[in-house]
Amino acid sequence: MAERYTAAHWGAYRIEGWGDDLRLEPLAEDPAPSRIGRGWVSAARDSRVRIQRPAVRKGWLDGDRGAARNDDAFVELPWDEALDLAAKELQRVREDHGNGAIYGGSYGWSSAGRFHHAQSQMRRFMNQIGGYVAARDTYSHAAGEVILPHITGMSNKDIEEGMTSWPLIARHCTMFLAFGGVSGRTAQIAAGGTSSHEVDDWMARAAAGGMQTVCISPLRSDLANLPNARWLPVRPGSDVALMLALIHELVSSDRHDRRFLDRFTSGWAQFRAYVMGESDGQPKSAEWAAPFCDLSADRIRGLADELSQNRVMVSVNWGLQRADHGEQTVWAGLALAAVLGQIGQPGTGFGFGYGSTTPPGRPKRFISWPSVPQGRNPVTDFIPVARISDMLLNPGATYNYNGEARRYPDIRLVYWVGGNPFHHHQDLLRLEQAWQRPETVIVHDHSWTSTARRADIVFPVTSPLERDDIMINRRDPSLIYMSQAFPPMGEARDDHDIFAGLAGRFGVAETFTEGRSEMGWLRWLWDGCQQVAQEEGFDLPDFDSFRQAGRFQVPNEDASRILFDRFVADPDENPLATESGRLTLFNQRIAEMSMPDCPGHPSWHEPVEWTFAADEGQLHLLSQQPATRLHSQLDNGSEAAASKIAGREVARLHPSTATAMGLHEGQIVLLHNARGGCLAGLKLDDQMRADCVVLPTGAWADLQQTSKGRICVHGNPNVLTIDKGTSALSQGNISHTTLVRVSPWEGPLPQVRVLDAPSFVARTGIEEER
239 is a site residue for ligand MGD (CB under 6 A): yes
| Under rule CB under 6 A, residue 357 binds ligand MGD | yes
Q: Which 3-state string (H, E, C) describes 541-606?
A: CCHHHHHHHCEEECCCCECCCCCCHHHHHCCCCCCCCCCCCCEECCCHHHHHCCCCCCCCCCCCCC
Query: By C-alpha distance, which of 599, 603, 480 is closest to 546?
Result: 480
Binding residues among 408-437 for ligand MGD as defined by CB under 6 A: 417-420, 423-424
Stretch that binds Mo ion, among 10-18, 125-133, 134-142, 232-240 (CB under 5 A): 134-142
Q: Which of residues 202-231 bind ligand MGD (CB under 6 A)?
A: 216-219, 222
Binding partner of 643, given ligand MGD, Mo ion, none, CB within 5-8 angstroms per partner class: none
Interactions with Mo ion, residue window 650-679 (CB under 5 A): none
CB of 536 to ligand MGD, least distance (A): 28
User: How far apart are the C-alpha atoms of 384 and 64, rounded to whole Å?
Assistant: 29
Closest CA to 313 of 368, 285, 270, 355: 355
What DSSP character marks residue 648? Answer: B
Give the containing element (helix H, strand E) for 398.
strand 398-401
One of 449, 611, 730, 731 touching ligand MGD (CB under 6 A): 449
Q: Which is nearer to ligand MGD, 218 or 346 (CB)?
A: 218
Among positions 88-147, residues that touch ligand MGD (CB under 6 A) are 108-111, 116, 118, 139-140
| Dihedral pair phi/psi, residue 321, rounded to 5° | -100, 0
Closest approach of ligand MGD to the CB of residue 9, in Å:
8
CA separation, residue 348 to residues 33, 166, 329, 342 (Å): 28, 10, 18, 6
CA distance 34 to 200: 12
Nearest to 325 by CA among 154, 183, 146, 160: 146
Please, what is the minimum distance in Å from the beta carbon of residue 391 to ligand MGD?
Answer: 17
Out of 446, 475, 582, 714, the only residue in the binding site for ligand MGD (CB under 6 A) is 446
Q: Which does 193 bind (CB under 5 to 8 A by kind): Mo ion, ligand MGD, none?
A: none
State the distance between the two ends of the chain, measured CA to CA, in whole angstroms: 52
Q: What is d(CA 76, CA 725) in angstroms, rounded to the nearest whole number? A: 39
Q: CB under 8 Å to 504, separation ≥6 — which residues?
A: none
Q: Which is nearer to Mo ion, 140 or 329 (CB)?
A: 140
CA-to-CA distance for 587 and 456, rounded, in angstroms?
47
CA quadruple 419, 421, 423, 425: dihedral sign: positive
CB atoms within 10 A of CB 31: 11
* Calpha distance 339→255 (Å, rounded): 9
Min dist. Cβ of residue 630 to Mo ion (A): 9
Q: Which positions are annotated as active-site residues?
A: 107, 109
Cα 670 to Cα 157, 430, 577, 748, distances in angstroms: 39, 19, 49, 13
The distance from CA 173 to its chain's CA centroid, rounded to whole angstroms, is 28
626 binds ligand MGD (CB under 6 A): yes
Q: How far is the CB of 139 from Mo ion (least distance, A)?
A: 5
Shortest Cβ 140–Mo ion spacing (Å) = 3
Give the closest residue to 625 by CA, choosing from 697, 576, 521, 570.
Answer: 697
- Which helix H or strand E contains 178, and what residues bound it? strand 175-179
Q: Which of 106, 140, 345, 673 binds Mo ion (CB under 5 A)?
A: 140
In angstroms, the CA 721 to CA 516 distance is: 45
CB of 718 to ligand MGD, least distance (A): 5
Options 128, 152, 270, 735; binder of ligand MGD; rule CB under 6 A: 735
**Is 604 a residue that touches ligand MGD (CB under 6 A)?**
no
| Residue of this chain nearest to ligand MGD (CB atom) | 319
- On whether the CB atoms of residues 133 and 381 are closer than 8 A, the answer is yes
In the bound state with Mo ion, the residue whose beta carbon lies nearer, of 188 and 513, is 188
CA distance 476 to 358: 10
245 binds ligand MGD (CB under 6 A): no
Q: Which does residue 389 bind out of ligand MGD, Mo ion, none, counting CB within 5 to 8 angstroms by kind? A: none
- Our finding on whether 697 is near Mo ion (CB under 5 A) is no
User: Mask 644-683, x = binds ligand MGD (CB under 6 A)?
Assistant: ----------------------------------------
CB of 100 to Mo ion, least distance (A): 28
If one asks whether residue 156 binds ligand MGD (CB under 6 A), the answer comes out as no
**Residue ranges that bind ligand MGD, judged by CB under 6 A:** 108-111, 116, 118, 139-140, 179-181, 185-186, 188-189, 216-219, 222, 234, 236-237, 239, 317-320, 322-323, 356-357, 417-420, 423-424, 444-447, 449, 461, 495, 622-627, 630-633, 697, 717-718, 721, 735-736
**Residue ranges that bind Mo ion, judged by CB under 5 A:** 140
